[in-house]
Structures are given as structure tokens and as C-alpha cells.
Structure 1
Amino acid sequence: MQTDEENRRPSALVRHRLSLIAAAAILAYAAFVHYLWGWGSIVAEWKSIGYGTVALAIGLLVATYFVRAWRLYDYFPRETSGRFIELFHLAQVHNLLNIMLPFRSGETSFPLLMRSEFSVPLLHGTSALLVMRLLDLHALLAAGGLGLVVAAEQKMLAGLLWLAFLLAPIPAFLVKEPLLRALRPRLKGKLARILDGIVEGLPATLAALLRAWFATVLNWGVKVLVFAWALGLMGVGPLTATFGGAIGGELSSVLPFHAPAGVGTYSAGIVAGALSLGASTARDAMDVLARASINMHLMIMLSALIGTVLSLALNELRRLRAAVR
């Protein structure tokens, strides 16, 4: 006989609905790819550019996960001191949930995980995540802008505009304190406490912002360069189109319009970004671009899985070493 607690518990189908949606989408996507091109031709792309080259690209992508973890480690020094491996593991779980769950719903896991693992208040973790996502979007656009600078006729002017955009977070930070001083006297009670919680998640000093900004630029700079390089090896051109494809794919994963596991939306973002920056619309070129976009999606999925497995292994080694002591 079932208890009231068991009756109130949602069914397995309800509890795992997001995972089931993601799995169904991946299977449907796999069938779609096989129907259009066959998985043999997709894998042949990797063989044609060299498995060593593919491994290097994936290795560089995995390396960026350590940069992202260091950014968190530096952003929450009091809470995470001496616990980098645990934080790296948390960051990889959050990254995988972000990829697998639709409409950026995986983002909600970050403040929850930070609260449960490092005792970071929810509002603090949420506001910090918002700052980092704004830095991510800024750095992604700046990294992609390199392609426009390279292709520009007036490179000096384009370079100066790009540099001004790259440095924009600094003046944005400098106006923070005047804005807060003007806003604080107008808020009382709960609203004032909410504001204080949000402020706790903002960089406390310009040096802290610069460290987070540098790590963000390094992370996205490497990712965009690796993506553009890989797309070029797969036959996508011209150079501006490879940068456009890199930006388009990553924007699709940063913005809210994100399918489960990025199925369809990530590849569509690559195609849209490449076309917007000069890729040919000829039938053969579009076929090359479509296959390349799927291969890039597979690379990002594989790098996320490798990063998660690596974080699990490192975390287990940490536990074994702690047990020996």
C-alpha cells in the first residue's frame, strides 16, 4: 500500500522529462544526419583533416574549461580556496547541463550547485553568473570581431573600434559606484537587501574585474580561433565566414533559444553566422558548410563529455588522496 509521500512523488516520466526530451532530440538528430549524409561521410571529414588535428582541437577546447574554472576560483576566493578540483568538477557538471537542457534552463543549476557545495548565497551566485555571462557575450563578440578586422579595408580604423569595444567593461565598471550611491538611498527594507545581495555578486575591485575579464577573453579567444581554424580545414571560406560560423554557433548556445543538447540550433547558428559574413550560398558550398557545422557540434559535445569525465577522475583522485591521509 502506497504512503501519502509516495503518492505525492512525481512519476519517473515527469521527473526525467527533460532528459527524455534531450535523448529523443539527439536520436532524431542522429537519424536525420544519417538520412541526409550518412555518419560514415561525417567521420570521413575527421579522417580527411587528420585525427591528430581533431584531437588537438578538442584538447584546446578542454583546456578552456580549466580557464573557466580558474575564473570561478578567483571570483569566489573566500568560498573556494584550496578546492579547485571540486570547483572544476562543479563547473563541468554545470557546463554539461547547459548543453543538454533546453532554453538555457541548465543555468539555474549554477547558483544551486554553488550554494550546496560552497555555501554561496543564491542571490550572490545568481548575480555573479549574470556578470560572467555578460562578460562571455562581450568576449565572444570581441573574438569574432577579429575576423572583421582582418578582412576590413581600413584596418587601422577597424582595429581601433575593436579595441574600444574590447576595453568597454572598464568604463562600465567605473560607473558602478556612482550608480549604486544614487540608487541606495531610494531603496528600503527588502529591496535594499536584494540590492546588497546583487552587489555581493559583482566584482569588488577593478583588479578583480580585470582578472575575470582576462580569463573570459582568453577562454573565448581560444574557442573562436579553434572553431574558425577547424571550419577552414573543413572547407568553409572565406576567413570572415569561419569567424562568423564560430560566433554563430556559440551565440546559439549563449542565447535563450537553445534546443536540448543544442541539437539543430548549434549547427543552424554556425550556418547563419558563416552566411552573414560571406560564405557562399552555392549548393556545393552549402553542403560543405552543413557537414562542417555538424562536425563542430560533435566536437563541442565530445569536448564537454571529455571535460566532465576528466573532472570526475580528478575529483575521485582527490578523494582517494584525502582518504589516504
Structure 2
Amino acid sequence: MKNYPVASRRAWIIRHAMTLATIAIILVYAAFIQWVWGWRSVVSLWSGAGWTSALIALAALLGTYVLRTWRIYDYFPRETGGHFGTLFRLVQVHNLLNIMLPFRTGEASFPLLMRREFGLAIARGTSALFVMRLFDLHALLAAAGTGLALQTGKLWAWALWLLFLVLPAVAFALRRPAFALAGKLLPGKARRLLDEVEAGLPFDANAFARAWGATLVNWFTKIAVLAWVLGLLGDLRPGASFGGALGGELSSVLPVHAPAGVGTYPAGITAGALAFGADAGRQALEGLGQAAVNTHLLVIVSSLAGTALSLFAARPTRTDGH
């Protein structure tokens, strides 16, 4: 009888594990921003740019999180159907862990959370995440190709960009003979890994088109918002703003990045902006550095805001009885 209160508390903690983790992450990040930059500094720097612009940018970034959630919702319709609120919270927790932990170790949380919340097998969640990350990398590189094609202004550059843009569709159409050939050439252990990757692909052409389209819209929207913010805060030309936004996001998907992207994300923004023609003078670099840090803060704050909003999402009872 004495163990009943302990067991009850333990069961309550297990049921609300993701909510408790979400609250803890929000508090840690809020404290982290205060420690590194200070919330007063963040508020004062955005006051000059205008709070309306800040709210528009924040709302647009939150919209990309909803679209990212929908992509996973559509990817696993049988497991996640009717559980969009829970999935939105899961995606936000995964996103924050990805930002917080170095060397992309936060990625491991996705298959674990999917198993915990929806009973999805670890192998399937991992393989699907791998495929979705390939989609993400392609979309980012396609966005970079857009900037290069605009900068070049040549017909051949646009032709190469278009060829690269449709590459996933060609690869998906040829997936069966490609996997069959690879299965014959690879050893046994590699074939098992190949089977998992194939299992992580969208079920059919319609599912592929939805996932691919959502990925392109998501990333092009995010890059456009960040480029607009960089131009607003740093008084940059459109090309340099575009390059800066790409540089920051590419730095976040590389295997090596600092916790919360501190240092590496603003450095990526600066490098990208300079590569796309930003002024390299001392005063201009100082302004670019300030714009880069504040754009990075916007990304972090949008993640915090999305995670906070996900706490209000309904948590439907799981249908598997657990």
C-alpha cells in the first residue's frame, strides 16, 4: 500500500515526460540567452528594426514549424492520424534538442520520441529521418543554387539548377532498379541497411510529391524570411542577405556545430554574406556581425516560442492502450 503514491507519481511522470522535458528545455534556453546575450540587449536591438517586422518574421518561422510537422504527419498517417498536436510538440522538442546538442546528436531523439509517443519502430523512424534529411539538404542546396543562378544570370546556370532541382524526382522514379542493383553488389550487412533506407522512402509517387513539395516550400520560406531579416538589420543588398541566410542554415546542418549554434551560426551567416558580395570593410563587418547574432537569436526565440505554443496543443489518448 505504501508504494501506491510512489507508483502513481512515477506513472504521472511517464505520461507527461515530453511536456516536462519541453518546459525544462524552454527554461534552460531562456536562461542561456540571458547569460550569453541578455534579454535586454535582444529587445533593444529589435526596437530599432520595428516590432511589427519582428512579429511578422516570427510568425513566418512558426509557420515553417507547422509545415514541418505536417510533413511528418503525412509521412506516417497510420501512426499519427488524429495526433497532430502531440506530433507538433514532438517536432518542437526534437528541433530544440538539435539546436542545443553539438555534432547533430539531437537527431537521435526523433526515433526515440516517435517510438515513445506513437509506437513507431526505431529502425523505421531512423530510416525515414535519414530520407527526410536528404530532402532537407537538397532543398538547401537548391536554394543556394537559386542564389548562384541569379548572381550568374546565365541560361546554362539556370539549366543546371533546374536539373538539380528535379534530381530527387528522377532518383525516386528509378529507386527500384537502383536498390536492386545495389543489393546485388553490397555485402549482407550493407544490404540490411539498404533495406532500412528503402523502407524509409515515401510509399508512392503522391506521398513523395507531398513530402518533397512541403520540404521545398518550408526551406525556401525560411531562407526568404532570414534573408529579409538580415537585410533589415544589417542594411545588406538582397544577394548578400540571401547568401547570409544560406550560410547560417548550412552551418546548422553540418555534423560539426557548437551547442545552440553559438559562434558557428553567426559565422556561417557572415561567410555566406561575404561570399555573395557583402562589404568586407571594418564598419560593414561590425554591422554584419550584429545582424548575424540577432538573426541567430530570432531562430532560437522562434524555436522557444514554437515549443511554448506546443504545450497548449491537445494531447489525445494513444490508441494502443499505453
What is aligned with 2:126? 126
Is the 1:68–1:219 Cα contact (8 Å) retained in structure 2? yes
What is aligned with 1:213? 212
Shift of residue 184 of structure 1? 3.8
Instruction: Give the 3 Å change call, closer, same or farther, for CA 272–187 of structure 1 in structure 2.
Output: closer
Q: Between the two proteins, what is the percent identity of the paired residues?
A: 51
The CA distance in 1 between the partners of 2:278 and 2:187, in whole Å, is 54
What is aligned with 1:135? 135
**RMSD of aligned alpha carbons:** 2.7
Provide the TM-score with structure 1 as the length reference.
0.82
> What SS class does the counterpart of residue 314 from structure 2 fall into?
helix
Is the 2:131–2:197 Cα contact (8 Å) retained in structure 1? no
What is aligned with 1:16? none
For residues 255-313 of structure 1, what are the alpha-carbon distances to aligned partners after superposition, in whole Å with 9 as ceiling and x for unaligned? Answer: 11111111111111111111111111101100010000000011000000010011111
What is aligned with 1:234? 233
Is the 1:29–1:263 Cα contact (8 Å) retained in structure 2? no
> What SS class does the counterpart of residue 280 from structure 2 fall into?
coil
Residue type at the aligned position of 1:169:
P
Provide the TM-score with structure 2 as the length reference.
0.83
What is aligned with 2:247? 248
Q: Structure 2: any 5+ residue segments left out of the alignment?
A: 1-24, 318-322
Residue type at the aligned position of 2:247:
G
Shift of residue 245 of structure 1? 0.6
What is aligned with 1:76? 76
Instruction: Report whether the alignment pairs 1:88 with 2:100.
Output: no
Residue type at the aligned position of 2:85:
I
Is the 2:130–2:197 Cα contact (8 Å) retained in structure 1? no
The CA distance in 2 between the partners of 1:133 and 1:160, in whole Å, is 25
Instruction: Give the 3 Å change call, closer, same or farther, for CA 102–190 of structure 1 in structure 2.
Output: closer
Q: Name the stretch that deviates more: 159-168 or 304-313.
A: 159-168
Residue type at the aligned position of 1:142:
A
What is aligned with 2:277? 278
The CA distance in 1 between the partners of 2:190 and 2:137, in whole Å, is 28
For residues 102-146 of structure 1, what are the alpha-carbon distances to aligned partners after superposition, in whole Å with 9 as ceiling and x for unaligned? Answer: 111100000111111112111111111111111111111212333
The CA distance in 1 between the partners of 2:252 and 2:182, in whole Å, is 33
The CA distance in 1 between the partners of 2:153 and 2:162, in whole Å, is 17
Residue type at the aligned position of 1:267:
P
Output aligned runs, 1:138-153, within 5 Å: 138-153=138-153
The CA distance in 2 between the partners of 1:190 and 1:257, in whole Å, is 28
Q: What is the number of equivalent residue pairs in this alignment?
A: 293
Instruction: Give the 3 Å change call, closer, same or farther, for CA 80–133 of structure 1 in structure 2.
Output: same
Instruction: Report whether the alignment pairs 1:105 with 2:101.
Output: no
Is the 1:123–1:198 Cα contact (8 Å) retained in structure 2? no
Shift of residue 50 of structure 1? 0.6
